[in-house]
Amino acid sequence: MFDILVYLYETYYRPEACPEPAALARKLSAVGFDDVEISEALVWLTDLTAMAGIEHSLTAASTGTRFYVAQEQDVLGATAIGFIQFLESAKVLTPLQREIVIERALALDESPVSLGKLKIIVLMLLWSQGKEPDALMFDDLFGSDEDQAPRQLH
């Protein structure tokens, strides 16, 4: 599924450039992606887009501290939680975006979520909202880490 998400990011600079889901599924299949992975990716992306659209209607700012319940700690792991906190303190993520990232990570069938996959979730959230991290943050999002080789994007 994450290969499809990265492919979408690389192929469609803005989410508005993506074709409708049925046409996109056909294009992804023609490129060689598995039908099950395509279906999973489209459902995951549709849920992300629905959640990301909520932010535009909310203007409240949070100045509190986020505490993670045991289930979130188990699924995310210390590395992912630390990275999310770093992104929020660097003003890459708003508190609402942080919650969307956490929800999308919890939607995966993986525990703990790898840092590489978490970085893709963050990138796809920003992409779905038409935002792009600055060059230094982009390098941090896609620098090499222990479970993933560096990627070339855009």
- By the 8 A CB rule, do 33 and 4 touch? yes
Q: Tell me the per-residue pLDDT of 59-112, one tens digit each, with 9 for 90 and over.
A: 455 667 888 999 999 999 999 999 999 999 888 888 989 999 999 999 988 888
- By the 8 A CB rule, do 104 and 125 touch? yes
Q: Give domain limits for the chain.
A: 2-57+67-141
The answer on pLDDT for 144 being more than 60 is no
Three-state DSSP class for residue 148: strand
**Predicted TM-score of the model (pTM):** 0.78
